[in-house]
Amino acid sequence: MKANILKSLGLATAVLILAAGLALAQAGRGVGRLGGVCLDLDDMPLEGVKVTLVFTQNENLKFDAITNKKGEWSFLGLGTGNWNLKTAAAGYLPIDKILYVSQLSVNPKVTVKMQKTATAARGAVGDETSYESLEKGNQLLKEAKYDEALAAYEQFFQKNPNFYQIQVSIGDCYREKGEYEKAIEIYNKVLEQSKTDAALGKEMAAKALSGIGSVYLKQNKLQEAQDFFKKSIENSPKDEILAYNVGEICFSNRNLDEALKYFDLSSQIKPDWPDPYLKLGYVYLNKTDYAKATEMFNKFLKLEPEGERAAQVMNILNAIKK
């Protein structure tokens, strides 16, 4: 019976697609709360900072806020999962980070420290038009309009030549266009510039190395891809999101053993994050190791017992038991 478990679930050929797309069915709305404060490097509150929160599993779900005189911001009605927090203020380095939000416990207050343009060696964005170009490029990249995204990013880079980090997104555009040599050339530029960036160097190096790995993965050069993904993780060994994303890339390309390794690493870095356990469950399900799949799905349910994803997992577990 268990040999036909995927068929009994109606997932014989689509379980990988389901696992990757399952999060998109999640509305991202719930009862979670998240709040914090924006400060400068002297711990003084920053008023008027634009704070944006985007649900990573449904990028159409977005919240905006403006900090008050105390630098405070808050959001209500959030669903469980990863949220992309962005801050923007003229004269300050923009912040872009991933935060995990839980509906089952109180989320810790988030403190964001922003660096002034005057003290920043690089990476400052000083005008609203530049922000618009950056956001436009990000949206076009999500829509797979790579030529248009590339034009928006390059327009941004011309106005903000010190913001070398944007070249990662430019490299991503060339990668998705199939211009692999050009993409690697740009990623290597990021790697070189990251060496003199004390603040963001390791993070940017990790992203560039991951980008090169993705190029090789698209070319089915699995050993080269694995080597660069490993280097990427070594540059940012405590970044559970990076490990998870590498796992996603391997999973979508049906490289299950590599996906298993990186999802497991992500779960070790952040044991209270349910997403890696969910994906580990799907990896083991595809490997027809139903005992391990059950173990991982149960770990997921302990952390996320409610919601659409939990309901789907319970259906799978019921089918495995039959």
pLDDT of 200-216, one tens digit each? Answer: 788 889 989 999 998 99
Give residue 6's pLDDT: 57
Q: Which amino acid belongs to residue 105?
A: S
Predicted TM-score of the model (pTM) = 0.61
Residue 231 · residue 239 · CB < 8 Å: no
Nearest CA-CA partner of 39 in 110, 140, 112, 99: 112
Give residue 120's pLDDT: 42
Over pLDDT 90: what percentage of the chain?
Answer: 43
Q: Which helix (H) or strand (E) holds 82?
A: strand 81-88
Q: How far is CA 59 from CA 52, 53, 108, 110, 260, in A?
A: 12, 10, 23, 21, 26
Over pLDDT 70: what percentage of the chain?
Answer: 86
Nearest CA-CA partner of 276 in 290, 291, 292, 260: 260
The ranges of the chain with pLDDT < 70 are 1-28, 104, 117-129
Give residue 169's pLDDT: 93
Q: Which residues of 273-311 are buried (b: 16+ CB within 10 A; e: fewer)?
A: bbbbbbbbbbbbbbeeebeebbebbebbbebbeebebbe
22: exposed, middle or buried (C-beta count within 10 Å: 0-12, 13-18, 19+)? middle
| Residues β-bridged to residue 62 | 54
Give residue 128's pLDDT: 59
Sheet holding 95-101, edge to edge: 62-66, 50-55, 81-88, 95-101
Dihedral pair phi/psi, residue 199, rounded to 5°: -80, -50
Tokens of 234: 């070594």
Q: How far is CA 206 from CA 168, 183, 191, in A?
A: 10, 15, 9
Which pLDDT tens digit goes with each residue over 43-54? 999 999 999 999
At residue 94, the 3 state secondary structure works out as coil
| Residues β-bridged to residue 314 | none
Give residue 119's pLDDT: 41
Residue 170 · residue 153 · CB < 8 Å: yes
Give residue 8's pLDDT: 53
Domains of the chain (ranges; CATH) run 29-120 (2.60.40.1120)
Which pLDDT tens digit goes with each residue over 70-122? 999 999 888 878 888 999 888 787 888 888 887 767 788 999 988 776 444 44
Torsion angle of C-alpha atoms 269, 272, 274, 279, degrees rounded to 10:
30
Rounded to an integer, what distance in angstroms lies between the CA atom of residue 200 and that of residue 218? 27
